[in-house]
Amino acid sequence: MYERIVVALDGSPAAEQILPHVRALAHQFGARLTLVQATIAVEQVASSMEPTMGGAVFDPELIEEALESGEDAATSYLDRLAANLRADGLDVDVEHPPGSADDVIFETAQRLKADLIALTTHGRGGLEKLVFGSVAESVVRKSNCPVLLVRST
């Protein structure tokens, strides 16, 4: 039933609560897992460094350092989780493309022709949801494959 599962992570323990669920599904169906974490895009770094936005003076080296730091952190994080899953006999890939989380998750799932997207919800509501939005809600709206949502505790 499931051959490819895209697992959305953000580096938080709350997001990792999806892992026992996808581990069980991957074992049950022999699915390949792709762990994905969005990293900061160059546009996001540059806009935060605009002097008119209260940021530092535009410096290409600072932007490059910020991008490399984000990529290194994502690589280390995802590789650690993947090693744990591989030790349990699972096939696991990792990806950390730049962009907004919902776009990265959706685009990765489409490109890989995923059978399932799995992620946690952080349980935001009210004003916090209005201000920050909901990655899970956006993924559900955009996705053309099933989405497994687990509410984090």
CATH number at residue 134: 3.40.50.620
Q: Is residue 95 part of a domain?
A: yes
Helices 19-29, 60-87: inter-axial angle, 10-degree rounding:
50
Domain enclosing residue 129, as ranges: 4-39+77-151
pLDDT at 103: 93
Q: What does each C-alpha distance from 116 to 11, 63, 108, 128, 132 come to in angstroms?
A: 20, 34, 11, 27, 25
Which segments in the chain show pLDDT lower than 50? 127-128, 130-132
> Residue 135 domain-assigned?
yes
Domain contains 17? yes
Residue 84 has a pLDDT of: 97
Is 50 a member of any domain?
Answer: no
Q: Is there a domain that residue 58 lies in?
A: no
Q: Which residue has the tokens 């996705």?
A: 143
Specify if 55 maps to a domain: no
52 phi and psi angles, rounded to 5 deg: -70, -20
52 assigned to some structural domain: no
pLDDT at 17: 95
Q: Tell me how many domains the chain contains.
A: 1
Cβ–Cβ < 8 Å for 96, 36: yes
- The pLDDT of residue 130 is 46
